[in-house]
Chains A and B, each alone.
Chain A
Amino acid sequence: MLEFDDVHVGYGRSTVLHGVSASVPADGVAAVMGHNGAGKSTLLRAAIGLLRPARGVIRLAGEDITKLAPHERVARGMAYVPQGQQCFPHLTTAENLQLIADSRPGGRAAMGEALDLFPALRALLNRRAGLLSGGQRQQLAIARALITSPKLLLLDEPTEGIQPSVVAEIEHTILGLTQRGGLSVLLVEQHVGFALRAASHYYVLESGRVTSSGAGGDSAQQAVREALAV
């Protein structure tokens, strides 16, 4: 579904990813793990088009999307939930969703479906998003991404810094999404257990390079923990 081919990308003059090659299978889940600062978020920013690779190619369903603007990638079926529970703080919960549903055929229905996945948001529709809790904001962020009915979802540490009871809920929803079919996911995740349960394929990033990769599932735990320990 998504392919990174020898991608070099960085900020200004400093290069962060030094030739990353990885792929997300159609209808599958690829997990990216790695220590703080390894370049996981940078990889997702390159995927959605916030950063342009200095070298290398990114393909979506075979099409070279390396030079497309973010909104053009969204139009081709990509959606992105950035790290850190991001939302438009001065828009209400409803407006945060409406914004994406606007001018999209079937937008209203998609908004309803997204709210069905996170029913807790229904009671918060008229509250400014900046006043929501971290967990609520993360649910809003995932709901917002789903309104575009994506074929490929990029999730950057969806449960980071969120209280445990809500974490279980979000993990449950993500697992449900990945099993629904028709959706590929690139998941950046620090919790090895959850990442491998969700993923059919994993990558470990270290200082901007892939140092380990393989099939997902619980049997990969040993290999991933060793790769992360170095």
Chain B
Amino acid sequence: MTVIVSQLFTGVSIGAVLLLIALGLSLTFGQMGVINMAHGEFIMAGAYTVYVLQKVITGAGWSLLIALPIAFAVAGAMGVLLEFLLIRRLYARPLDTLLVTWGVSLILQQAARDIFGAPNVQTKAPDALTGNVRITDDLVLSNNRLFILGLAGLAVVALTLVLRFTSLGRRIRAVVQNRDLAAVSGIPTGRVDRLTFFIGSGLAGVAGVALTLLGPIGPTMGTNVIIDAFLVVVAGGIGHLKGSVIVAFALGTLQSLIEYSTTVSVAKVLVFVAIVAFLQWRPQGLFTLRTRSMA
């Protein structure tokens, strides 16, 4: 029983990382209509931010905390740049956008290899996060996974508040729902697009910081997680926060439960099959947002 519970906890924390990644992906996906293939590299940028900061700031705890806003800004700025230089010019050309962002993803990976070297690097986890919380003798929750869970919770709450209650949030939702109507209502859609990209990509940076607590940092770390996050976005319903939250945790727990009884790769395959089956049944995902546009 406790094995199941601790496996569930692992699953929930996997779900939390997935969620952090999917939140940002879902925002930019909702905005431009196709997946940003370079989103994974924004995660990588966030992770390397921790690595670089640890060279400057010695305390692992401080460097991690400071890395959170800086990684958000670094990844966010990269996202804005990508949107401004390329994606904006490819509006309504989804296939081109997909290919171009894929190209950018490869370039960024190579850039990481050139700057930081091809081998993976490690960061120091803060002492506070290396310990465990002992619930019973068998049930032990690791601090770093609890921290990630808290971080994901915070991101969901913050994003929900921004989208629901601020003027920027209203604008983002309006542009996603009907871009032409938003434009003719006087909303500067270009500016809204860039802010959407800043927030969405920034969240990828935060996810990168979280990932440094779970494993090594390398040029391809983003690619390894982006497919799962993409599945979360599609199955949750594009641009729909609640759907992403539900699917991310469902996926995380499902994966770790199957992993417990088989192996990692079998679990991945089974989860993938489950999602394909789900999308056969509900192609629009759990929820839908998009409506037809005008012109």
Q: Which residues of A contact B (CB under 8 A)?
A: 11, 45, 48-51, 69-71, 74-75, 79-80, 82, 86-91, 95, 98-100, 102-103, 144-145, 148
Is B294 at the interface (CB under 8 A from chain A)? Answer: yes
User: Which 8 pairs of residues, A with B, have the shortest CB-CB distance?
Assistant: A74-B186, A102-B167, A70-B183, A50-B295, A99-B170, A71-B188, A70-B184, A80-B184
Contact A102 B294 (CB under 8 A): no
State in angstroms the CA–CA spacing of A148 and B184 once bound together. 11
State in angstroms the CA–CA spacing of A144 and B186 once bound together. 11
Stretch at the interface among B151-159, B172-180, B221-229: B172-180
Contact B189 A71 (CB under 8 A): yes
Contact B170 A98 (CB under 8 A): yes
Contact A88 B177 (CB under 8 A): yes
Chain B residues within 8 Å of A148, by CB: 186
Chain B residues within 8 Å of A144, by CB: 185
Chain B residues within 8 Å of A91, by CB: 170, 173-174, 177
Chain A residues within 8 Å of B177, by CB: 88-91
State in angstroms the CA–CA spacing of A69 and B170 once bound together. 21
Task: Name the interface residues of B248-295: CB closer than 8 Å to any CB of A.
Answer: 289, 291, 294-295
Q: Given A91-B174, A99-B171, check contact A82 B187 (CB 8 Å).
A: no
By secondary structure, the B interface counts as helix
- What are 20 pairs between A and B in contact, CB < 8 Å? A45-B295, A49-B183, A50-B183, A51-B295, A69-B183, A71-B183, A80-B184, A82-B181, A86-B181, A88-B177, A88-B182, A89-B177, A90-B289, A91-B170, A91-B177, A99-B170, A99-B174, A103-B167, A144-B185, A148-B186
Interface band, chain B: 20 to 34
State in angstroms the CA–CA spacing of A76 and B173 once bound together. 24
State in angstroms the CA–CA spacing of A79 and B170 once bound together. 19
B59 to nearest A CB, angstroms? 41
B185: contacting residue among A74, A89, A90, A103, CB under 8 A: A74
Q: Which residue of A lies closest to B182 (CB)?
A: A88
State in angstroms the CA–CA spacing of A104 and B201 once bound together. 28
Q: Which residue of B lies closest to A104 (CB)?
A: B186
B288 to nearest A CB, angstroms? 9
Chain B residues within 8 Å of A79, by CB: 186
Contact A100 B291 (CB under 8 A): no
Contact A74 B173 (CB under 8 A): no
Q: Which residue of B lies closest to A74 (CB)?
A: B186
